[in-house]
A and B are shown apart, each in its own frame.
Chain A
Amino acid sequence: MFERFTKDARAVVAGAVEHAEEAGAGSVDAEHLLLALLDREGSRASFALAALGLAEREDAVRQALGEARRRAGLSQADTEALAGLGIDVSEIIARVEEAHGAGAMAGDRGGRGRWSGRRPFGKGAKETLEKALRIAVARRDRHIGDEHILLALTVRPGVSGEVLADHGVTHESVTRVLYGGGGAAKAG
């Protein structure tokens, strides 16, 4: 599948691996793909993000991703669903961190270099890339660009899509700035 990736899309995949390594994460996750997308300049996705005003809010997005990771990778919607059961996630995180240190529930294994082996792509990242492929095919685009990765992130459930939506980046808004109004069918 990677042979059809554009240079920018490949850079996002490589960047995601770097972000995962830097964080000491056990696997490359969808959030690392989003962090790598934020690093891009002059690409289709970075154009879309800039058009949606995200350039000035990148730090807020990074911070929101970091907070979600600290909460065991639970999204706001997950946290609220648990609150419905009477489970206070922030209370649990606070107690675990008190006993085991900050970031204990992030699932990371400490700083860079602690674990130098190759990181596998987690389920979320794999599904995002597969979705990017399907979106490109549905749009009859010949290549998979970083904009398709961005679109895939907006439609997958989970932290990345939720954080993007909180900042006005949805499948609809990205489609609008990339392809203009109307026309673009939502990829299944």
Chain B
Amino acid sequence: MTEATDLAERAGDRDPRVGLRAVAALRRLLEQLESVQVRSARNQGWSWQEIAAELGVSRQAVHKKYGRH
């Protein structure tokens, strides 16, 4: 895991590349997490309105993103 250690050290050095990559990866992780949670809520009978309220977004936004399938 020397590469991981290198990367961690560079993150400490504030290498923007590692920091930006981490942000991009975090966004991806977040998207998947959101999708898992929204599906789970729908399966449990939650309305789009209820899901939107918890996520802090509009009902239209969450429905547009997940409502098609």
Chain A interface residues toward B at CB < 8 A: 72-74, 77-85, 87, 89, 92, 96, 100, 104-105, 107, 109, 115
Contact = CB atoms under 8 A, between A and B. Distances in A.
B18 A81 contact: yes
B36 A100 contact: yes
Contact of A78 (B10, B19, B25, B40): B25
Interface of B: 3-4, 7-8, 10-12, 18-19, 21-22, 24-26, 28-29, 31-33, 35-36, 40, 69
Contacts of B24: 78
Contact of B25 (A79, A105, A107, A115): A79
A100 to B, nearest CB: 6
B32 A89 contact: no
Contact of B29 (A77, A82, A100): A82
A96 B25 contact: no
Contacts of B8: 80, 83-84
A96 B7 contact: no
B64 to A, nearest CB: 15
B13 to A, nearest CB: 10
A105 B3 CA distance: 25
Q: Which 10 A-B pairs have the closest CB atoms?
A: A84-B11, A78-B25, A81-B22, A72-B32, A81-B21, A80-B7, A80-B4, A84-B8, A105-B32, A85-B22
A95 B62 CA distance: 24
Contacts of A78: 21-22, 24-25, 28
Contacts of B21: 77-78, 81
A17 B24 CA distance: 26
Given A96-B33, A105-B36, A84 B18 contact: yes
